[in-house]
Amino acid sequence: MAPSSPTAGDIFHYRFHHGTNLGTIFVLEKWLSGSMYDGAAGDSELDAVRASLSSRGLDATRSKWQNHWDSALSDDDLNWLVNNARCNMIRLPIGWFTLGPDFCNNTAFAGEPAQVYTNAWSSVKRLVQRCHDHGIGVLIDLHAVPGGANDQIHSGTSSGKAELWGNSFNLDLGRRCLVYIAQEVQAGMAGVIGIQPCNEAAYNAQGMYEWYDSLIRAISAVNGSIPIYISDGWDFGRALPYVQGKNAGDRQGNPIIIDKHNYYCFSASDKSQSAQQIIGRIPQELGELDGKDGNVFEHGAACVLIGEYSCVLDGQTWNQGGDRPSLTKQFGQVQSQRWQGRSSGSSFWTYKMDWMDGGDWGFKEQTNKGAIAPPHCLTLSAQDVKNAANNAEGRRQSLRDTAYNEHVQYWDRTSPGQHFEHQRYSDGWNLGWSDAKAFFRARADGVIPGGNVGGDKLGCLDVWVRKRMVEAGEAKSQTAYGWEWEQGFRKGVADFYSAVGI
């Protein structure tokens, strides 16, 4: 039986994600939100909460935090994100404390600090719903995990230690937090595009992949469809074979996607380079994917989200000369092009700060200046989408026939007399075309909100191919000729996009 049409949830999960982080809302960072710190000596969320509790007391602190959460995105913000930035996703950093006092026992937030967060998760759920109603998906990023996945203040405390790893209590509490989030999503949080277990895991963290294994099992037991985004721990090359194994082409399950962060202003080697040199490197980024993605039947699926990037370069880089405004714009544009061409999405760091519009760290400023640009498909009107799809449909049969004949002729030339099952190629092509069209028309047809503008593309293509391959009975455990189906599916998607001009 042919797979059913993509659902609204499928489209939120698997389309190309163009968006921004909403940092320093549920996990404070002093450099972005100094107004929340009341003279606190440290820079973390816990430092800010303790300073406020000391000076204001619990009720006034809870009220201040509640207002900070609930004013994070105004209606004007959401309208700008949709109509100006053409944003279709937000990566939302939260902390384990965001889930409420029950998750704070025996942690650094135990006691009075925990009581500040009584209604924090409800605020997250309202924000997710408001984003969904505007057609924006939300990646829930457990940015601050118990003990810290890294030693930075954005893990919630100023401990300066990464005490998640190797600590059974923290690892178990982190797992319980993530299972709770997955249950909440399953129970009805429309628009959540995925769950991220931790942010910027320390390099070569002890037991990281074993923890991921246990999380994937635990999350899949309560929500078998939500994508899981794993930090690569600053080692993309190691993360790739891990996700290929988890996304094996012969089994269904939660898609596992890599979260990779690309900054060019922190390392000594980056600081030593000029802006032009750094810009010249961007088109080669993500080259590790070559040979890893594009063949799910044989190798499993590999997808990556650029979960954080910016337009920031270090002062030492700028000291080497060049016109800063034009080079900053070029830097943003070349990143936009590369992430759109080679990843499943990207989210700029960041959208909100005390000092809007944020300079080179500001999604709003860099979008307004033209440095960060959305994919062309997200700029189309609903009528443009419908017209393009209808015109393409008129060419469907001839394009399919051409693709099929070229496929058959190629194998007749290269392997004469060998047995093939070319009908699978045709079946794959038909489904690929239909799926690409369904994603593209979803807003215009009212399948998902946000219908006044934009047509979506398949962004997480490898993991979508895996899902459809299993559903269509074309996985390696089901047939030796599923590779023909996969080639046909990918060609159908590509032919549709060529036909509509995106």
Distance of alpha carbon 494 from alpha carbon 498, whole angstroms: 6
* Cis amide prior to 357 (ω within 30 degrees): yes
Does 304 have pLDDT greater than 80?
yes
At residue 450, the pLDDT reads: 85
User: Is residue 90 a contact partner of residue 20, using CB atoms and an 8 Å limit?
Assistant: yes
Does 242 have pLDDT greater than 70?
yes
At residue 250, the pLDDT reads: 82
Estimate the crossing angle of helix 482-500 against helix 423-441, to 10 degrees. Answer: 40
The model's pTM is: 0.98
Distance of alpha carbon 151 from alpha carbon 476, whole angstroms: 43
At residue 249, the pLDDT reads: 87
Residue 43 main-chain phi, psi, to 5 deg: -110, 0
Q: Which two tokens mark 347?
A: 């989210």
Query: For residue range 31-89, what is the model confidence (pLDDT) as tens digits?
Result: 999 999 998 999 999 999 999 999 999 999 999 999 999 999 999 999 999 999 999 99
User: Is residue 331 a contact partner of residue 339, using CB atoms and an 8 Å limit?
Assistant: no
Does 475 have pLDDT greater than 80?
yes
Provide the residue count of the chain.
Answer: 502
Distance of alpha carbon 465 from alpha carbon 3, whole angstroms: 12
Strand-pair category, 137-144 with 304-309: unpaired
Of the pLDDT bands very low, low, confident and very high (cuts 50, 70, 90), residue 1 is low
Tokens 């074993």, residue located: 210
Tabulate helix, strand, coil % of the chain (nearest 5).
Answer: 50, 10, 40
How large is the C-alpha radius of gyration of the chain?
23
Distance of alpha carbon 226 from alpha carbon 485, whole angstroms: 25
Give mean pLDDT, residues 119-139.
98
Question: Which secondary structure element, helix H or strand E, spans residue 468, and what is its range?
Answer: helix 461-471
Give the whole-number percent of the chain exceeding pLDDT 70: 100
